Amino acid sequence: MTYAKQQLGGGEPGGKLLGLPWDRDTFSVRVTVKDCTTKREILSEIAKVYDPLGIASPVLLVPKLLYRNVCDGKISWDGQLPEPLLNRWEVWQSSLTEEITVHRPLAPYRVAVTAIELHSFGDASSQGVCAAVYAVVYQGDEVTQGLVCAKSRITKRDLTIPRLELVAGHMAVNLVSNVARVLSDFQVETHCWLDSSVALFWIRGKGEYRQFVANRVQKIQQHDKVVWHHVPTSQKPADLESRGGSVAKNHLWREGPTWLSNRSKRPADVALEATAETRAEAKVKREILAVTSVERDEFDQLLDKYDLLKVLRIGAWIQRFIGNCRTKPRERASGPLVTDEIQRSSTRCETRFTI
């Protein structure tokens, strides 16, 4: 066993590892299915494929989408599938290769591992959301890169593409963080790549967003050691995984972009600016302002013309007049104002301002 393999916890060749065929330092996933004519048979064939590392994710996305279409058609478990769905199953079945194989060792040389870079690519489409992690291992003058693991699932139909891209970013950062945790004994750099400038703006931005975006941005930003980059769609291996397809002769899927091991050739980052799509998820701030209207009456006009004491005396005379109008002539008040009358006028004035 090589020194590098000892460092990465390698085992003796032969047999199976993680339930996968293992021969001469390679992992293999066998996707072999039979003809299906019912919903039950399709689900059974999909469940038979064992792929814990996700290296066959692009291949398996196609039957998952097909199965969802079968469910949408409300076909019974043992009912005959419509001809269009049967044809799609046959086309996918004929495109399968016997095995999908990737190299098992991340460090194949007899040289100590000096550094490891992990690059996670996320992508989303109307069909699938996915992430794929690639390792770049430095051993002296030797550099090795290849697929480590991947993950995909079919999309929810009620989400916009920018939101799905953010979900893919969340999936990518979780997957690369899990791999980095396994390699915690090494000096590991973690990078995440997206082709969505909208999702990257949300992740890097400091704005306040609606609940769906805000929750995922908060979870993504908890992984503060991950460096985020923009990658052109044509150079992103996860693009195949989010739409489904064959990986038999796809070098980009197995090894990742050639520039991963050459920092000088990596895509330049793009300037991120607020757009209509980013602003669409901005949190709406509602301000409630109290509006008051001031109504002026005769009392206010008196205060504008006279001092407070005179206004109180005028009020007291008015109250005496009102009181005299309600009483018998022999019981009416007369003569100069008394203190109690001024006091009652003052009390009425205070009550008015309190209300």
Packed helices 161-182 and 197-204: angle between N→C axes, nearest 10 degrees: 60
Same domain, 28 and 149: yes
Same domain, 220 and 161: yes
Residue 86 resides in a domain = yes
Centre a 10 Å sphere on the Cβ of residue 152 and count the other Cβ atoms it contains: 26
Given 250, 279, 308, the domain boundary residue is: 279
Which residues of the chain fall below pLDDT 50? Answer: 1-13, 355
Same domain, 130 and 15: yes
Residue 17 resides in a domain = yes
Residue 290 resides in a domain = no
Given 279, 308, 336, the domain boundary residue is: 279
pLDDT digits (tens, 9 = 90+) for 326-344: 888 887 888 888 888 888 8
- Residue 47, CA atoms < 13 Å, CB-side half-sphere: 6
State which residues form the domain around 304. Answer: 298-354
Same domain, 101 and 195: yes
Phi and psi angles of residue 309, each rounded to the nearest 5 degrees, phi first: -65, -40
Residue 285 resides in a domain = no
Same domain, 312 and 342: yes
Same domain, 200 and 327: no
Same domain, 137 and 258: yes
Cα 118 from Cα 140, distance rounded (Å): 18
> Contact at 8 Å (CB) between 182 and 110?
no
Same domain, 50 and 184: yes
Sheet holding 227-230, edge to edge: 142-154, 128-139, 115-124, 188-194, 227-230
Residue 292 resides in a domain = no
Number of domains into which the chain is organized: 2
pLDDT digits (tens, 9 = 90+) for 215-235: 999 999 999 999 999 999 888
In SS3 terms, the chain reads as: CCHHHHHCCCCCCCCEECCEEECCCEEEECCCCCCCCEHHHHHHHHHHCCCCCCCCHHHHHHHHHHHHHHHHCCCCCCCECCHHHHHHHHHHHHCCCCCEEEECCCCCCCCCCCEEEEEEEEEECCCEEEEEEEEEEEECCEEEEEEEEEEEEECCCCCCHHHHHHHHHHHHHHHHHHHHHHCCCCCEEEEEEECCHHHHHHHHCCCCECHHHHHHHHHHHCCCCCEEEECCHHHCCHHHHHHCCCCCCCHHHHHCCHHHHCHHHCCCCCCCCCCHHHHCCECCCCCCCCCCCCCCCHHHHHHHHCCHHHHHHHHHHHHHHHHHHCCCHHHCCCCCCCHHHHHHHHHHHHHHHHC
Per-position b or e across 233-265, b if 16+ CB within 10 A of its CB:
eebbbbbbbbbbbbbeeeebbbbbbeebbeeee
Same domain, 80 and 142: yes
Residue 193 resides in a domain = yes
Residue 289 resides in a domain = no
Same domain, 269 and 306: no
Residue 16 resides in a domain = yes
Given 249, 279, 309, the domain boundary residue is: 279
Same domain, 179 and 229: yes
Same domain, 21 and 118: yes
